[in-house]
């Protein structure tokens, strides 16, 4: 009981700190706090996500795998709300100027583009990045470029060779080398169970993001 009371005191102090920070800005806001068991976090986030456009997961939460995964689960699978991962030493920009789209011709990747169209429309540079693409993925990237053009978004296609690196390493290295403000990608092209057991691009990116990542499923 003493430990629970101490945690609740810390939570109230943190909520007050955040509230004071937001009070000095012009951003409309509401600060809510929840003290709960780990297994219930996804439900709470799902409830909050119902009235949100985006869930932001910052550096501190990214360092706590259990809480991080529960929050992402609540956002993506309870309410299908996009998630923005913001790792250490990175700045999340409201209107990113340089965006990399991780494209694999999946429904999840296409959904990420549709969900992020407002950001793409204001970007000065948009790159469609493909890793070791076959003809089908290459052709679909051209179709994506034409789709973006209808929204007055100019883009270029970069076909990347992994050269022994994983897909996620290839994509993130490319984004970092190009000083991208954001990488946009679809999440969980495979089932969550398969990715948790065998690994996958989504799981690897969540565990080690190197730049701000915009995720949808």
Give pLDDT tens digits for 3-12: 999 999 999 9
Percent of all residues in the chain with a pLDDT value above 90, rounded to a whole number: 85
Enter the pTM of the model. 0.90
Q: Note whether 57 and 86 are within 8 A (CB).
A: yes
Which of 46, 22, 21 has its CA nearest to residue 34?
46
Structure confidence by residue, pLDDT tens digits, 150-196: 999 999 999 999 999 999 999 999 999 999 999 999 998 656 555 55
Which pLDDT tens digit goes with each residue over 188-209? 865 655 555 445 888 899 999 9
pLDDT of residue 95: 87
pLDDT of 92 higher than 80: no
Phi, psi of 216 (to 5 degrees): -140, 165
- Spatial neighbors of 2 by CB under 8 A, at least 6 apart, are none
Indicate the domain borders of the chain: 2-85, 98-216
Average pLDDT over residues 125-147: 97
Domain 98-216: homologous superfamily in CATH: HUPs (3.40.50.620)
pLDDT-derived band at 25, boundaries 50, 70, 90: confident
Amino acid 87: pLDDT: 95
Place 118 in a pLDDT band, splitting at 50, 70 and 90: very high
Alpha carbon distances (Å) from 93 to 84, 136, 171? 11, 33, 20
What digits encode the pLDDT tens for the residues 35-72?
A: 999 999 999 999 999 999 999 999 999 999 999 999 99
Residue among 15, 1, 189 nearest 104 (CA): 189
Say what the pLDDT of residue 89 is: 84
List the structure tokens of 141. 């990237």
Measured in degrees and rounded to the nearest 5, phi and psi for residue 183 equal -115, 130
Question: Can you read off the two tokens belonging to residue 33?
Answer: 């706090």
């Amino acid at each position: 009981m003493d430990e629970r009371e101490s945690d609740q005191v810390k939570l109230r102090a943190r909520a007050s700190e955040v509230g004071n920070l937001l009070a000095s800005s012009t951003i409309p806001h509401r600060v809510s706090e929840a003290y709960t068991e780990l297994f219930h976090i996804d439900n709470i986030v799902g409830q909050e996500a119902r009235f949100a456009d985006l869930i932001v997961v910052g550096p501190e939460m990214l360092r706590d795998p259990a809480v991080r995964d529960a929050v992402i689960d609540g956002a993506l699978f309870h309410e299908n709300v996009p998630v923005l991962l913001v790792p250490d030493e990175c700045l999340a920009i409201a209107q990113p100027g340089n965006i990399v789209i991780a494209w694999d011709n999946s429904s999840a990747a296409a959904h990420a583009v549709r969900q992020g169209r407002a950001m793409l429309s204001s970007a000065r540079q948009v790159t469609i990045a493909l890793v070791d693409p076959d003809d089908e993925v290459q052709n679909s990237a051209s179709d994506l470029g034409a789709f973006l053009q209808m929204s007055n978004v100019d883009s270029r296609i970069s076909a990347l060779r992994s050269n022994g690196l994983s897909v996620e390493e290839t994509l993130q290295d490319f984004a970092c080398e190009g000083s991208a403000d954001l990488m946009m990608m679809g999440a969980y092209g495979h089932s969550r169970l398969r990715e948790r057991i065998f690994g996958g691009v989504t799981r690897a990116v969540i565990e080690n993001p190197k730049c701000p990542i915009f995720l949808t499923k």
